[in-house]
Structure 1
């Protein structure tokens, strides 16, 4: 497994991050056991970075991961643990409260305490703010981060689904560098390539992580808007490249992301051991500049020259 440093830090992460969103499913004993097998497979295959959020499985994904940590002495010291907070659902805590994003200092601190308790650890390597709170006070968030770092509860910080301007605002107030911006990047959603998100990651040395990286290929993309004509055109190019590289289309998609100079870290969220292993094939593809543009042309329907 290839390793890469995260942002302006000495943290070395596996280039593929393992996403823990689907670990518990319906929380049955069978699915929970499958989740543990998936995590152990990822560990055996060299994944060293594990991504959580307090809302995944309503906290039960973190609890399951804590069991794996307890059953595997020394594992905690060999991996990077990231979790996210700030998404609040309708009715929390009052019946009439709406779905929202919340960067309130007390709420973030309480969320971190809950994450640490569920994971049964004394600190997080990285905390990400899951979705931007449109009402956030950057000074207040920076102070919250400083307090968590001083208390030793969180070592590093980043964001998720932030626009370039939101990143700039928060970083302008933070004394510590933001290490990560975790955004959706796949063949359906290429906005980060076009709106300056990945440019900013290179400029500020922030590591972009791609959630849902194979959406629109291995499964339907979130909010899919492709027409039949677009899907046909994209599939034709994936088929051509799959044949050329003698691999599956979703491996091509991962290679396409890995090719970008911002050094994207795709998040692999499968709980199928064979897929967790197969994803590493993308790291070894000698994927060309020309094929990257061929797929981009198929995606957008326009030539770039």
Structure 2
């Protein structure tokens, strides 16, 4: 497994990150065991970075991961554990509450503490603000970060789904360097290539983590806007590239993402041990610039200007 340094963490991160959003399945005993096996398969395949959020499975995904840590405590020092908070579902804490974002000191602090308890760990290696709170006070967030760092509950901080201007604004208030921006990047959503997100990651030495990296290739993209002709063009080009690289299409698309000099780290969310391991083959593809642009042209339906 290839690695990348994230901020000042004590160990480098695996280039592929294992996403724990689905490890609870339907919460049945069989699904939970499958989730645990997926975690172990990821470790065996060389993943050492695991991505969580307080809302995944309403906390169940963190709890299941915490059980794995309890069963194999030697794993803790080998892993980078990330979690996120800031999204509040409708009906919490009272029935008539609307869904919202909340970066208040009280809420963020409480959610970090709850995540630590569920994960059965003393500190998060990375804590990310999950989605921008339109009403957040950057000074309050900066103070919250400093408090969590001082208390030893979080080692490094980052954001998720932030625009470049939001990153810059928060960083101007915080003495804690933002190490990560976790955003959607895939063949459907290429906004990170165009809106300055990846430029900023390169400039500020932040690591871009890509959620839903194989959307359109394996499953429909979030908020899909593609017509069938566009999907057909993409798959036709991916069929050609899959034959050229002697790989599966979804593995080729991971290589398409990782060729970017910002060192995009795709988040792999499968609970199938074979697919978890297979994803690592993308790291060995010597992907060509020409093919990157061929796929972009297929997506757009026209050559670059």
TM-score range, shorter chain: over 0.9
Counterparts of residues 32-181 of structure 1 (less than 5 Å): 32-181=32-181
Deviations, residues 72-106 of structure 1 (Å, cap 9, x unaligned): 13100000000000100111112221111100110
- Counterpart CA distance in 1 for 2:253 and 2:73 is 35
- Structure 2: state its 5+ residue gaps: none
How far 1:11 moved relative to its partner? 3.9
- Counterpart CA distance in 2 for 1:8 and 1:213 is 26
CA contact (8 A) 2:8 2:156 kept: no
- Counterpart CA distance in 2 for 1:184 and 1:7 is 21
TM-score for the superposition, normalised by structure 1: 0.98
Counterparts of residues 16-35 of structure 1 (less than 5 Å): 16-35=16-35
Are positions 1:251 and 2:256 aligned together?
no
Counterparts of residues 185-196 of structure 1 (less than 5 Å): 185-196=185-196
Which residue is 2:220 aligned to?
220
TM-score for the superposition, normalised by structure 2: 0.98
Let me know the Cα RMSD of the aligned residues: 0.9
- Counterpart CA distance in 2 for 1:73 and 1:7 is 25
- Matched position secondary structure for 1:75: helix
- Matched position secondary structure for 1:131: coil
Deviations, residues 239-269 of structure 1 (Å, cap 9, x unaligned): 1100101111100110000000100000000
- Matched position secondary structure for 2:73: coil
Counterparts of residues 193-272 of structure 1 (less than 5 Å): 193-272=193-272
- Structure 1: state its 5+ residue gaps: none
User: Which consecutive aligned stretches of 4+ in structure 1 deviate over 6 angstroms post-superposition?
Assistant: none
How far 1:9 moved relative to its partner? 4.9
Which residue is 2:13 aligned to?
13
Deviations, residues 20-42 of structure 1 (Å, cap 9, x unaligned): 00001111000000001100000
- Counterpart CA distance in 1 for 2:7 and 2:283 is 20
